Structure 1
């Protein structure tokens, strides 16, 4: 599954711009007074100015052999969110290793090194090693209903989880992370899951707000 663009909302676009451009050295691809966009490999990450925003979770895929140089690179820029003392968290069932941090809006950003996704790491890590946006978190009280709504847009395979507390739908190149805020918190720091407002463009095109999906044509 391809996620070409993830659109998030921010109360302080200047702070997010400073974080991704100055701290993280992401390359801007478009900017106006009310939005800013950054290159994330084959995809794009866009922030739109808004009076309302709550933290969300998303992941950026990096090459499977790049988690150590990525760790060294990240630690110079952000405070990583460990799990049981580990900064690099192994997911053997997903054939991946992940590390997490907050951006300026306390969105939970994940660098996931996936050995099932083709790509090789450069000699020294930089944002140019990012392959694409690989995960988007979608909170809902009824995960089965949410999954059925996504599957109605276009057939979507189940990837992992019981789809009551947690479910991942898609494939290693792109996943929707379905999380029930009544029974789960965001991994790894146990953040409370709040309703998300975001938009996705790619194989699935929709706006997600107040646990409802609205299909729409989104253009880059």
Structure 2
């Protein structure tokens, strides 16, 4: 599964443009007055301006397997890293991965993760163009059970094939693909943050499968790809 496109709501669009373009060096893919679209390898993220609320999300960028430390120092030189118990990185031994986190002006918790099974760098120095894809996108829903049933229409099931656990993080997607929608209910604390998960609209276009949504009411819905999953 490839998370091809993500569309998120944001309040401080001007600050977001400065942060992603001027601080981190993303190139704006499409220029629209009330949107910012950035490219991360094979994925894009579009931030859509809203006038009410303060939407925030968690999402993860894959970085080359052999560039974790250099990527960490590159980001750290541009924006503070988030810490958990005085640590600014974490090793997920069961996933064979390491990650670090930072926050953007909208309060999004942004993860950079190096998976040992992912492609290595091409020998070029790390830059924002080294990002490979969006590999995790939060789907905070009012009813995780309902969300799990709906996502099955796109052949998305929990990576360990376990039942949906409403109060925990459910990684929806094939373990081998290492791309997931993170299905959960409000109130769970995000790792490396003091923020609790909240429900906000999100759209994720999954290549070759369809489009998944969390709507205004916090329920998950999908549109299947016309060619079938």
- Per the TM alignment, residue 120 of structure 1 is displaced from its structure 2 partner at its CA by 2.1
Q: Give structure 1 stretches of 5+ with no counterpart.
A: none
Partners of 1:119 and 1:131 within 8 A in 2: no
Partners of 1:121 and 1:129 within 8 A in 2: no
For each residue in 1:144-182, what CA deviation from the matched residue of structure 2 results, as whole angstroms up to 9, or x when unmatched? Answer: 221111112x11131257623221111343101122224
Kindly tell me: are residues 122 and 9 of structure 1, through their superposed partners in 2, closer, same or farther at Cα, counting changes over 3 Å?
farther
Q: Give structure 2 stretches of 5+ with no counterpart.
A: none
1:207 maps to which of 202, 213, 222: 213
Map of 1:71 onto structure 2: 72
RMSD: 2.0
Displaced runs of 4+ in structure 1, greater than 4 A?
A: none
1:1-220 equivalences in 2 (<5 Å): 1-52=1-52, 53-120=54-121, 122-152=123-153, 154-159=154-159, 163-166=165-168, 167-171=170-174, 172-182=177-187, 184-202=188-206, 203-209=209-215, 210-216=217-223
Distance 2:155 2:10 in 1: 31
Q: How high is the TM-score relative to the length of structure 2?
A: 0.87
SS state at 2:147 partner: helix
Q: Which moved more, 1:99-108 or 1:82-91?
A: 82-91
- Per the TM alignment, residue 217 of structure 1 is displaced from its structure 2 partner at its CA by 8.5
Distance 1:131 1:179 in 2: 25
Q: How high is the TM-score relative to the length of structure 1?
A: 0.90
SS state at 2:82 partner: coil
Distance 2:135 2:82 in 1: 19
Distance 1:181 1:23 in 2: 31
